[in-house]
Chain A
Amino acid sequence: MQTTTATTLGQDYLTIALDEDIFALPVATVREVLDPPPMTRVPFAPAHVPGLVNVRGNVMPLLDLRTRFGMAAAEDRETTRLIVTHVDRPGDPFLVGLRADAVYEVIDIAQGALRPAPPGSTRWPAALMQGVIQRGDRYVIVLDLAEIVAADAARPQ
């Protein structure tokens, strides 16, 4: 368990996992973390947005991060979580539920620690990430939520 240091000036991130890889989301966008509620499938929806979920009266689309990153779809497991995030698109803010294999903790990243990912160092599409943070002996990939959702809007599949 990592200990969070609040002393450094920086930004808080929520670390999540897809298989063995660790990603991070800015905490400012995150509203809530839940056990995945039952999903209502939407006909003819894209593969990474299979349906809609109801979270305490708010209906929002569910976005499967695994499918979004081109990984094979997997069943829900014990650690699978739904992260309710707020996409602050100008003039059209909305909520979206991201499905991740696990949610770890809130971490505080010092400014300057976020570096762009060296080209060719990762197999993930570079457009979807803000950068990479080194944390211990591992790298945490910081996701660009707006891109993830926007890409979705720009290139509907």
Chain B
Amino acid sequence: MRLTIKTKLIASFAVILTLTAGSGYMAMQSLQDANEDFHQFVSGPFAQVQTSRAMRESLTDVRRLVNRAYITNDLAERAKYVEAFDTRIAELEAYREQLLSHVDDASREQHASLTADMAEFADTARRALELSNAADSEAPGTVLEATEQVFTAFLADAARLSEGLRNLGEPSADSGQGVHSAAPMRDLVRALSLAETVSTSAMTARISTIDAAARPSPEHTRAQVEHAEQQVAAVEAALAELKAIPLVSRNFMALVPDLNTSWTAALAVLRAQLDSALELREYAALEMLSKGLLPVSERLDGQLAQISNDSDAAAAAKSAETEASYVQMRNKLVAIVLAAIAIGAAAALWMAISISRGLNRSVKAAEAIGRGDLTTELDARGADEIGDLMRAMKAMTENLRRIVGDVISSSGQVAAGSQQSSATAEQLSQGSTEQAAATEEASAAMEQMAANIRQNAENAAQTEKIAGQASLNAEKTGKAVANSVDAMRTIADKIQIVQEIARQTDLLALNAAIEAARAGQHGKGFAVVASEVRKLAERSQLASTEIGELSASTLGISEEAGRMLQDLVPDIQRTAELVGEISAACREQNAGAEQINQAIQQLDEVTQQNAAAANEMSATAEQLSAQAAMLNERAGFFVLSRDAAAATTPAAARSEDELDRQMQTEMAGRASRKPAAAPVKRAAAKVRPAQSGPAAEGGFDLDLGAAGDEGGFERLSA
């Protein structure tokens, strides 16, 4: 394959530019990838982390709200909490939506549990909130307040009974009555004890009730409620027993129903509180908070934390991946740039070295040629332009060598040839003289011939005149014949008249004969006359018939003669024309003979000029010989080969001998083969004197192709 400098340059630049473009494209691609990764990071893991954190906060808020709702008893505050709870739950839903919208399809199933947990959490939290709202955080206080009034009234009643009994037992001055007997005394003590029991049991039942509400635990509450029921049963029993004691019923007729009434009221309140305590609302709320809401929220939180962690992990992975790709891309870019630099430097170095080396060799070769040294053998290598230049230089050297060799040998040939041509010129001069004598003889013969031709022309002209006259006469004769034909026709017509007259005469003579016959003897003489007339008429008719036949035959002959004459006239005219042409040809021939005569005279002149020119040519040939020697000397400037440089002169002499022989054979061949070459030489000799000036200055050229004068020769010989 041919590797030119152009190809090399184009190839190396193309490689470098391609590498640069490739590195730029890759850098741009990498930047674009990084940008996309960043965008994905912002909208993916980062957002998820943010959202899950916010969800976790919201989760905590919800739980706090439920706890606060449980703790407080204020209805307005609770309503506020419910409102806040709804807001939080909506927020959580929104966060969930946001979170799941950033999740790809693969992990969407994984996050299905999150949705379920979310729903469960919302449900549980709402129930916990409702239970918390229903619970009474200050239940003992409430029970205390609720039972305060009725129990105070009942205890007051009981206290009044006890007071009354004590007063009954002490000997009083004012009444004088007292219980001084042993049975009443025992009843009184019994009543007092029962009254004490009523108060104490009532108090205890109340305390148990309060205690049942104070500690929300089913066992404790049930134990306290049972204890309170026992105390109530004790109060009931004591009251029944008390009523059964006559002393009491007798002495305190009004007080016992009061006591019963207040007890009934207190018991109703107490039972309501006990029933309320047995409902265990606080306990349920607490249960829901601790066992329902807490695990769900913790699970959800755990999931959210997991999502957050996953996102963190994904972000970390993404970051690591980006880092890795950055490093890879940087390495690639560095490698490409390094490769481009290396290739560029190598190509530049390679081309610079190859160009400068080749050019140096070419310059050396050119200097050698300038000195005339054609011996240098150039080593043409390489497939590039420098190689082309080297090859061209080599070809030039070889061509120069060949041309100079040719010039040297040609100059030798010219020298030999000029000597040969000198001899030939002398021969030519002699021949020209002989030619001049022959030409004069030809001229004399030609003049004789011209005179004959002129005589011919004159005769022909005369013949032409005669022929024209004959033609005219023939035409006239034709007309005359036609006239005579017409006359013959007239004669024939007239003869018919004569015939008619003869017939009429015959008829008349017949009638006369008839008349004569009818006249009988008297008409005998007339009959003879009539007969004679009739004979005359018959004779004249016969004669006229003969004349008619004769004239008819004459008419036919005359018409035949007229036709023949008409046929003859064109022939005569044609003859006249031909004679005219002959006459014209004779005149032309005469002119041609004159021209030939002139030409022969010119030929004579030219022949004499040729003789002179041949002499001049001889001199010129000698000059040419001298010029050839000079040319040989000039051409010796070039050294063709180191061996031949010393032996130039013998070689030239040898080649001259060979050339002489060659020239002689060539000239002999030309003289025998081509006599027509003489005019060419003459033309060359004619040109010579005009150019002898420039020839003396060291150079001349022979215009062998000049054909200006040869035209004359061709015209004359034609």
List residues of chain A with CB under 8 Å of any chain B CB: 1, 3-4, 6, 12, 14, 27-28, 30, 32-35, 81, 103, 105-106, 108
Contact of A4 among B510, B518, B527 (CB under 8 A): B527
Report if B514 contacts A (CB, 8 A). yes
List residues of chain B with CB under 8 Å of any chain A CB: 507, 510-511, 513-514, 516-518, 524, 527-528, 531, 534-535, 538
Given the known inter-chain contacts A12-B517, A27-B514, A33-B514, please indicate yes or no for A106 contacting B527, CB distance below 8 A: yes
Closest Cβ neighbor of B524 among chain A residues: A6
Contacts of A35 in B (CB 8 A): 507
Given the known inter-chain contacts A4-B527, A33-B507, please indicate yes or no for A106 contacting B513, CB distance below 8 A: yes
Closest Cβ neighbor of B504 among chain A residues: A35
| Beyond A6-B527, A28-B518, A30-B514, 13 additional pairs, beta carbon < 8 A | A1-B538, A4-B513, A14-B517, A27-B514, A27-B518, A30-B518, A33-B511, A34-B507, A35-B507, A103-B510, A106-B513, A106-B516, A106-B527
Kindly state the separation between the CA atoms of A108 and B528 in the bound complex, as whole angstroms: 13
B535 pairs with A106, CB closer than 8 A: no
Closest Cβ neighbor of A35 among chain B residues: B507
Contact of A33 among B510, B516, B518 (CB under 8 A): B510
A32 pairs with B524, CB closer than 8 A: no
Contacts of B518 in A (CB 8 A): 12, 27-28, 30
A4 pairs with B514, CB closer than 8 A: no
A105 pairs with B510, CB closer than 8 A: yes
A105 pairs with B527, CB closer than 8 A: no
B517 pairs with A106, CB closer than 8 A: yes
Contacts of B531 in A (CB 8 A): 3-4
Contact of A27 among B517, B524, B534 (CB under 8 A): B517
Shortest C-beta distance, B586 to chain A (Å), equals: 68
Kindly state the separation between the CA atoms of A106 and B538 in the bound complex, as whole angstroms: 15
Given the known inter-chain contacts A28-B518, A33-B507, please indicate yes or no for A105 contacting B524, CB distance below 8 A: no
Contacts of A6 in B (CB 8 A): 524, 527-528
Closest Cβ neighbor of B513 among chain A residues: A106
Shortest C-beta distance, B444 to chain A (Å), equals: 88
Query: 30 A-B residue contacts at CB 8 Å?
Result: A1-B538, A3-B531, A4-B513, A4-B527, A6-B524, A6-B527, A6-B528, A12-B517, A12-B518, A14-B514, A14-B517, A27-B514, A27-B517, A28-B518, A30-B514, A30-B518, A32-B511, A33-B507, A33-B511, A33-B514, A34-B507, A81-B507, A103-B510, A105-B510, A105-B513, A105-B534, A106-B510, A106-B513, A106-B516, A106-B527
Contacts of B514 in A (CB 8 A): 14, 27, 30, 32-33, 106
Kindly state the separation between the CA atoms of A14 and B511 in the bound complex, as whole angstroms: 10
Shortest C-beta distance, A24 to chain B (Å), equals: 12
Kindly state the separation between the CA atoms of A157 and B514 in the bound complex, as whole angstroms: 32
Determine the main DSSP class of A at the interface with B.
strand
Contacts of A103 in B (CB 8 A): 510
* In the complex, the 9 A-B pairs of residues with the closest C-beta atoms, listed nearest first: A12-B517, A27-B517, A106-B513, A106-B517, A6-B524, A30-B514, A33-B510, A33-B511, A27-B514
Contacts of B527 in A (CB 8 A): 4, 6, 106
Shortest C-beta distance, B533 to chain A (Å), equals: 13
Shortest C-beta distance, B501 to chain A (Å), equals: 13
Shortest C-beta distance, A45 to chain B (Å), equals: 28
Kindly state the separation between the CA atoms of A12 and B510 in the bound complex, as whole angstroms: 13
Shortest C-beta distance, A142 to chain B (Å), equals: 15
Contacts of B528 in A (CB 8 A): 6
Kindly state the separation between the CA atoms of A30 and B516 in the bound complex, as whole angstroms: 12
Kindly state the separation between the CA atoms of A103 and B510 in the bound complex, as whole angstroms: 9
Given the known inter-chain contacts A6-B524, A27-B517, A27-B518, please indicate yes or no for A1 contacting B511, CB distance below 8 A: no
Closest Cβ neighbor of A78 among chain B residues: B503
Contacts of B534 in A (CB 8 A): 105
Interface centre among B516, B517, B535 (most CB of A within 10 A): B517
Kindly state the separation between the CA atoms of A12 and B516 in the bound complex, as whole angstroms: 10
Kindly state the separation between the CA atoms of A34 and B510 in the bound complex, as whole angstroms: 10
Contacts of B516 in A (CB 8 A): 106
Kindly state the separation between the CA atoms of A49 and B519 in the bound complex, as whole angstroms: 30
Kindly state the separation between the CA atoms of A103 and B514 in the bound complex, as whole angstroms: 11
Kindly state the separation between the CA atoms of A128 and B516 in the bound complex, as whole angstroms: 27
Given the known inter-chain contacts A6-B524, A28-B518, A106-B527, please indicate yes or no for A1 contacting B535, CB distance below 8 A: yes
Kindly state the separation between the CA atoms of A12 and B527 in the bound complex, as whole angstroms: 11
Kindly state the separation between the CA atoms of A12 and B535 in the bound complex, as whole angstroms: 19
Kindly state the separation between the CA atoms of A35 and B507 in the bound complex, as whole angstroms: 8
Kindly state the separation between the CA atoms of A139 and B518 in the bound complex, as whole angstroms: 24
Kindly state the separation between the CA atoms of A108 and B534 in the bound complex, as whole angstroms: 17
Kindly state the separation between the CA atoms of A105 and B527 in the bound complex, as whole angstroms: 11
Kindly state the separation between the CA atoms of A51 and B329 in the bound complex, as whole angstroms: 155
Closest Cβ neighbor of B507 among chain A residues: A33
Kindly state the separation between the CA atoms of A4 and B531 in the bound complex, as whole angstroms: 9
Kindly state the separation between the CA atoms of A54 and B535 in the bound complex, as whole angstroms: 30
Contacts of A3 in B (CB 8 A): 531
Contacts of B538 in A (CB 8 A): 1
Closest Cβ neighbor of A79 among chain B residues: B503
Closest Cβ neighbor of B535 among chain A residues: A1
Kindly state the separation between the CA atoms of A32 and B510 in the bound complex, as whole angstroms: 9
Shortest C-beta distance, B507 to chain A (Å), equals: 6
Kindly state the separation between the CA atoms of A35 and B505 in the bound complex, as whole angstroms: 12
Kindly state the separation between the CA atoms of A103 and B513 in the bound complex, as whole angstroms: 12
Closest Cβ neighbor of A4 among chain B residues: B531
Shortest C-beta distance, B229 to chain A (Å), equals: 193
Contacts of A34 in B (CB 8 A): 507
Contacts of B510 in A (CB 8 A): 33, 103, 105-106
Shortest C-beta distance, B499 to chain A (Å), equals: 10
Kindly state the separation between the CA atoms of A149 and B283 in the bound complex, as whole angstroms: 198
Closest Cβ neighbor of A28 among chain B residues: B518
